[in-house]
């Protein structure tokens, strides 16, 4: 059960063709950041296209607890009246971030250099995830944290009263850790420097510049060096949230494996730090076309057209691409099941500390449906069954993980027998319209009784 929903078993059936246009929701990463940076600005930020998934709504609630005014308007847009960098009030209640690792880690960073105390919790998934990766660098600023064994939530953070700026090399490829340090650096005097050896999604850097912070990025032999000058006055922005490439991945991949399909997924950002899946699919032989390529807000954007692709081949996914498609490995493993040959995914240890252990969760779900998977600590290999070769008939445990739930349901679209999932309620964290959108395209997905 998610923090918000009740257990929702679901079943998907062989179907096809999928046809039409799939308008996926707003980008989750940019939605969280719009609210948090809006809350740290002086004045009113306007946001349209915000993802109204549970994760983002929890971040909105949290920002209200820290003193910002966050409102939804009748036309569907949102405004955030910020309190300025260093202006957070101490929350009166525990901050519940639900299922969201991005939410909790970014919020911890944003309060850690203010002289306030806050206690954070989440659902069973979030409360089992590692937080030391964030609290270790926050301690360098002078913040203190008291959590459960292994650095787990619930956890209380005592923000630093006299924060000092830090230079920090992020030890794992993580945009959440990088962003937490940068957000903490906002209220430290002087320059905070974050070095990442592998480039991860760069929304925080781009948006901080948009909000008026002084931030530079330098590509060096040691990696990307990001330098932020602390204590700026952030200026409110008007933000149009682009549609989420990680959500686009689901209708795109569904079309590739479902006989006769032709689906258009418009307005998808192809920021190189996010678009790795689409290039991987093209290398596998997917009929995936980038139509109407253009630039919007300084970012490459395209309409994605995905057609049934019966002759995809398994490939070795370049490990250096992992960060740019880290959330897409579960759905890639489903496509891999319908390809011929092996799909080899290496350098993906981070998958083990997402909303679930995603290697373990997908391996179990695929095996339950007749697909062979081998796995090691930081790699896994899916043995393709070819189009028409997936047996189905199994039940997948989703471990409170939205992406496992959606991936396993899509597995059923081309399988001989229906595929069940034990709980689809976490889908609402990132893609609340998933079932309706898939049904509109022609998929057969339903809530089941067992």
As measured in angstroms, the least distance from the Cβ of 69 to ligand S3P is 24
| Segment interacting with ligand S3P (CB under 6 A) among 173-181, 206-214, 257-265, 411-419 | 173-181
Residue 326 binding ligand S3P, by CB under 6 A: yes
As measured in angstroms, the least distance from the Cβ of 116 to ligand S3P is 23
Q: Which long-range contacts (CB under 8 A, 24 or more apart) does 129-134 make?
A: 129/101, 129/153, 129/353, 129/355, 130/353, 131/104, 131/105, 131/155, 133/171, 133/172, 133/174, 133/177, 134/105, 134/108, 134/109, 134/176, 134/177, 134/180
As measured in angstroms, the least distance from the Cβ of 308 to ligand S3P is 28
# binding residues, ligand S3P (CB under 6 A): 11
Residue 358 binding ligand S3P, by CB under 6 A: no
Beta bridge partners of 11: 420, 446
Between 14 and 129, name the residue whose CB sits nearer to ligand S3P.
129
As measured in angstroms, the least distance from the Cβ of 380 to ligand S3P is 17
* Cα–Cα distance, 246 to 282 (Å, whole number): 16
- Active site annotation includes 327: yes
Interface residue with ligand S3P, options 2, 12, 99, 102 (CB under 6 A) = 102
As measured in angstroms, the least distance from the Cβ of 201 to ligand S3P is 6
| Segment interacting with ligand S3P (CB under 6 A) among 43-51, 149-157, 174-182, 363-371 | 174-182
As measured in angstroms, the least distance from the Cβ of 215 to ligand S3P is 16
Between 85 and 326, name the residue whose CB sits nearer to ligand S3P.
326
Residue 17, preceding peptide bond in cis (omega within 30° of 0): yes
**Alpha-helical runs (H) found in 67-202:** 101-111, 132-141, 175-185
Residue 51 binding ligand S3P, by CB under 6 A: no
| Segment interacting with ligand S3P (CB under 6 A) among 168-176, 222-230, 370-378, 392-400 | 168-176
Residue 29 binding ligand S3P, by CB under 6 A: yes
Interface residue with ligand S3P, options 327, 328, 397, 401 (CB under 6 A) = 327
10 Å CB burial of residue 158 (0-12, 13-18, 19+) is middle
**Residue 5 · residue 402 · CB < 8 Å:** no
**Residue 236 · residue 44 · CB < 8 Å:** yes
Interface residue with ligand S3P, options 14, 201, 274, 402 (CB under 6 A) = 201
Residue 175 binding ligand S3P, by CB under 6 A: yes
Between 226 and 312, name the residue whose CB sits nearer to ligand S3P.
226
User: What are the angstrom distances between the C-alpha of 87 and each of 93, 129, 234, 363?
Assistant: 18, 29, 12, 46
* Cα–Cα distance, 69 to 59 (Å, whole number): 12
Token match 């923000």: residue?
159
Among candidate residues 27, 58, 96, 327, the one labeled active-site is: 327
- How distant is the alpha carbon of residue 413 from its chain centre? 24
Interface residue with ligand S3P, options 81, 90, 262, 350 (CB under 6 A) = 350
Residue 176 binding ligand S3P, by CB under 6 A: yes
| Nearest alpha carbon to residue 219 among 297, 272, 181, 160 | 272
Residue 243 binding ligand S3P, by CB under 6 A: no
Q: What is the DSSP letter of 99?
A: T
Residue 174 binding ligand S3P, by CB under 6 A: yes
**Residue 334 · residue 414 · CB < 8 Å:** no
Interface residue with ligand S3P, options 59, 135, 179, 425 (CB under 6 A) = 179
| Segment interacting with ligand S3P (CB under 6 A) among 114-122, 150-158, 170-178, 219-227 | 170-178
Beta bridge partners of 224: 196, 219
10 Å CB burial of residue 178 (0-12, 13-18, 19+) is buried
| Nearest alpha carbon to residue 288 among 315, 271, 308, 259 | 308
Between 2 and 174, name the residue whose CB sits nearer to ligand S3P.
174
As measured in angstroms, the least distance from the Cβ of 425 to ligand S3P is 18
* Cα–Cα distance, 292 to 288 (Å, whole number): 13
What are the residues binding ligand S3P (CB under 6 A)?
Answer: 29, 102, 174-176, 179, 201, 326-327, 350, 354
Catalytic residue IDs:
327
């Amino acid at each position: 059960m998610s923090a918000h929903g009740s257990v929702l078993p679901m079943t998907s059936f062989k179907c096809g063709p999928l046809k039409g246009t799939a308008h996926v929701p707003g980008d989750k990463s940019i939605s969280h950041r719009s609210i948090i940076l809006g809350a740290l600005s002086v004045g009113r930020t306007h946001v349209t296209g915000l993802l109204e998934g549970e994760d983002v709504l929890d971040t909105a609630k949290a920002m209200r607890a820290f003193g910002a005014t966050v409102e939804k308007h009748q036309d569907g847009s949102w405004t955030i009246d910020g309190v300025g960098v260093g202006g957070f009030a101490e929350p009166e209640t525990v901050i519940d971030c639900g299922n969201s690792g991005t939410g909790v880690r970014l919020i911890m960073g944003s309060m850690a250099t203010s002289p306030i105390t806050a206690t954070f919790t989440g659902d069973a998934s979030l409360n089992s995830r590692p937080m030391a990766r964030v609290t270790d660098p926050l301690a360098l600023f002078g913040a203190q944290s008291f959590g459960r064994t292994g650095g787990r939530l619930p956890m209380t953070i005592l923000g630093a009263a006299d924060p000092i700026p830090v230079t920090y090399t992020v030890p794992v490829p993580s945009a959440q850790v990088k962003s937490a340090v940068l957000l903490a650096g906002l209220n430290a005097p002087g320059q905070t420097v974050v070095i990442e050896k592998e480039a991860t999604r760069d929304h925080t850097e781009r948006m901080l510049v948009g909000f008026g912070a002084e931030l530079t990025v330098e590509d060096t032999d040691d990696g990307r060096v990001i330098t932020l000058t602390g204590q700026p006055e952030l200026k409110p922005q008007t933000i149009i949230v682009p549609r989420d490439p990680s959500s686009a991945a689901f209708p795109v991949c569904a079309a590739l494996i479902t006989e006769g399909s032709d689906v258009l997924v418009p307005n998808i950002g192809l920021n190189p730090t996010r678009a790795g899946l689409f290039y991987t699919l093209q290398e596998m032989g997917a009929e995936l076309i980038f139509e109407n390529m253009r630039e919007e807000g300084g970012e490459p954007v395209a309409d994605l057209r995905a057609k049934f692709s019966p002759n995809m081949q398994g490939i070795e996914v370049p490990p250096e691409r992992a960060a740019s498609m880290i959330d897409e490995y579960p759905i890639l493993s489903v496509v891999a099941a319908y390809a011929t040959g092996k799909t080899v995914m290496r350098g993906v240890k981070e998958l083990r500390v997402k909303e679930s252990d995603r290697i373990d969760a997908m391996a179990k779900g695929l095996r339950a449906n007749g697909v062979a998977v081998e796995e090691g600590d930081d790699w896994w290999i899916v043995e393709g069954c070819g189009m028409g070769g997936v047996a189905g008939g199994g039940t997948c445990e989703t471990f409170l993980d939205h992406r496992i739930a959606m991936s396993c349901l899509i597995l059923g679209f081309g399988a001989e027998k229906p595929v069940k999932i034990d709980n689809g309620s976490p889908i609402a964290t990132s893609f609340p319209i998933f079932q309706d959108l898939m049904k509109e395209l022609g998929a057969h997905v339903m809530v089941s009784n067992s």
